[in-house]
Structure 1
Amino acid sequence: MVSEALERWPALFCDAEIREEFYRITNKGLIDNFRAALNQHTWRLLRLYRVRRAAFSSEMDQLLNSLDQETSDLTAHRQTAALKGLPLFLRESQEKLFRNCLVSGSE
């Protein structure tokens, strides 16, 4: 079924095409829009993680403790912690929730 979708709509599998289509529809940059939303919600997510800390595995404790130890580039570390905490909070596997893409020289 994925191969059929790839054959019919190859642009769905190309991040540049997805960004262009998002811009065409919304007149906003996808990455900029994502970053703005992340900036807006980071504090609330971290507060939620801390309040519900006891309900999660030790991974959440480790994540929040490592954030507390940071002294440089706090904004980036907070955003990273907010994103890394999502799969723990939602009790989903990280692989299921996020798809990591590696940039290669073949593009």
Structure 2
Amino acid sequence: MKKLLLMTAAVITLSAGGALAQNTPDFATTDGDKSGEVTFSELILQYPDVSQEQFDTADADKSGGLNEKEFLMVVTPNTESVNENDDNQNKDDAAPATPPAQ
């Protein structure tokens, strides 16, 4: 009986791991032709809910494909916006302080 329970637990754990892996954004896998950019047709194979408008908005350099940073903006939009805020905060921290007026 213990063996059956352990085997069942192992199968459930492995199945959940596989499901989680499918939800992880993977630029290299999505870039089917390994061109260094993900086209819209490549993207919708793995992310069918992404619209052409979302794709076009993320294609910041208007190259017709998404580089890895642009790809992450589409598939993890909330994460990327946090990173952009961090970048702006770091720029503020790096700016030289203005000396007080005398």
TM-score band (shorter)? under 0.3
Larger radius of gyration: 2
Q: TM-score, normalised by structure 1?
A: 0.25
Compute the TM-score of the two structures, normalised by the length of structure 2.
0.25
